[in-house]
Amino acid sequence: MSETLEKVAVQTEESRTQTRRAFIKGGLAVAGTVMFTKAAEAAYDPKSAVKAYAGKKEITDVLTDGPQRRMLGKGIMSSTYSMPSVYEKEVRKRTLEWLTPDTLATISMTPIQSMHGMIVPNGLHFDRFHGGAPDIDPATHKLVIHGLVERPLMFTMDDLKRMPSVTRIHFLECPANGALEWKGIQVNSVQWTHGMMSCSEWTGVPLSVLLKEAGVKPEGKWLLPEGADASGLVRSIPMEIALDDCMVAYAMNGEALRPGQGYPIRLVVPGCEGNMWVKYLRRIKVTDKPLHHREESSKYSELMPDGTIQRFSWVQETNSVITYPSPDYKMSGPGRYVAKGIAWSGRGRITHVDVSLDGGRNWKEAKFTSVALPKAWTRFEFEFDWDGSEMLLMSRATDETGYVQPPMAQLRNAVGTNGVYHRTAMVTWLIHDWKGNRAGEIENVQF
């Protein structure tokens, strides 16, 4: 910015006495004199990614003061916690009632199709409960670190909040995201195909700081974190991961964790399966071997084609999805579109995303529209012209390790069809022929 623009000292100025009324009148006067020429209207390209109206009548109407300009708004004077607009009431987490046995073990999925950017607001972060949501008073909650340590330690919430902290943005994903796709169940919403996932800013104490203070004994190689809730979920976490970038988090997106997210504290295990991010954390036991707990045998392990069980497939591999156009929307006719999507990898940064319009035969690179942070959602966009004929829309992400998101057939060949977890292959949206009887529809096809 130039210095002239930066600081302009104005001594006298006739406009200083200008009142609001005068300005509104001025605005209306100008509206009346907007020049609409045939040339200008013709020059506007309806094929542009910008869809806009350039005619005279309606614009003049809009420039006339609307009712809100002539009416004072609602007054506000109190201690408040704001809520979304009433017009946004359809943007909600949703459960599939038949998917889980009862209300104590539910999955509430994030409306990915309505999300923008990298951050999911706390009210819409997906929830997975294994024993209902406990009521925990932070004033009495404690965290214990014990087992193979020099000094077993106990922390109050105040202790934890007064310690060194770190803040990072990371996605959190259930490995069962996309499970219905494994089972050949066609679900026509990104909320159901990818909604067991959110991305938030987490703040907490680096686990390495806590472990250093407790003094891990040489034979201490694994951690067993356990929550204070009824679920008894425990995961075995190798010391290598624990000392890397894990944290004991007390805040998400700036405020305390929500009850569904482990209030008052949870483990954050960036890039790894959501169930390892143990909620309502009450103790971490240091051991010399993994526990092979129920939650890493009956659940969260993979039945391979040869009958073996693959355990400890912790990392959420490179993945991506186009959220618009997607089965939650309809095409509005041939023309230019901006495809919008999310890419993420449990191994680090996303380095590029390609988009295919023909079911994976040809690929073109998409543009990032957000910063690409490690183990976080990265936003991409891709402009394309649709001529109205049938189209197979796909995205393919690559991360900094060089891992390329595979097509479904390749993943199926590698791990078989017994599994429930880690369906990280590409998804394909079929855009139906504009001249056909399903014109405008967008369908999730197993491809």
Q: Which of residues 384-443 bind a second copy (CB under 8 A)?
A: none
Q: Does 264 bind a second copy (CB under 8 A)?
A: yes
Residue identified by tokens 């078989």 is 416
In the list 171, 177, 196, 229, the residue contacting a second copy (rule: CB under 8 A) is 229
Q: With contacts defined by CB under 8 A, how many residues of the chain interact with a second copy?
A: 173
State yes or no: residue 218 binds a second copy (CB under 8 A). no
The interface region with a second copy, picked from 54-62, 349-357, 387-395, 428-436 by CB under 8 A, is: 54-62
Interior CA angle at 335 toward 366 and 390, to 5°? 80
Per CB under 8 A, the segment of 67-75, 172-180, 388-396, 429-437 that binds a second copy is: 67-75
Contacts of 29 (CB under 8 A, 6+ apart): none
Question: What's the token pair of residue 61?
Answer: 């109407």
Is residue 29 near a second copy by the rule CB under 8 A? no
Provide long-range contacts, Cβ within 8 A and 24+ apart, for 251-259: 251/202, 251/203, 251/204, 252/122, 252/125, 252/200, 252/201, 252/202, 252/203, 253/119, 253/121, 253/122, 253/200, 253/201, 254/201, 254/203, 255/122, 256/138, 258/122, 258/123, 258/125, 259/133, 259/135
CB of 24 to a second copy, least distance (A): 6
* Residue 113, token pair as written in the block: 């199709």
Site for a second copy in 283-342 (CB under 8 A): 283, 285, 291-294, 297-298, 301, 304, 308-315, 324, 337-338, 340
**150 is a site residue for a second copy (CB under 8 A):** yes
282 binds a second copy (CB under 8 A): yes
- Among residues 267, 269, 373, 393, the one that binds a second copy under rule CB under 8 A: 373
408 half-sphere exposure, CB direction, 13 A CA radius: 17
Stretch that binds a second copy, among 147-155, 390-398, 404-412, 430-438 (CB under 8 A): 147-155
User: Under the criterion CB under 8 A, does residue 349 sit at the interface with a second copy?
Assistant: no
Residues 96-135 that bind a second copy (CB under 8 A): 97, 102-104, 106, 108, 114-125, 127, 129, 131-135
CA distance 252 to 264: 11
Nearer to a second copy, 356 or 378 (CB): 378
Q: Give the closest residue to 196 by CA, choosing from 94, 116, 103.
A: 94
Closest CB 161 distance from a second copy, rounded Å? 8
Residue 166 contacts a second copy per CB under 8 A? yes
CB of 124 to a second copy, least distance (A): 6
Backbone angles phi, psi at 381, to 5 degrees: -140, 155
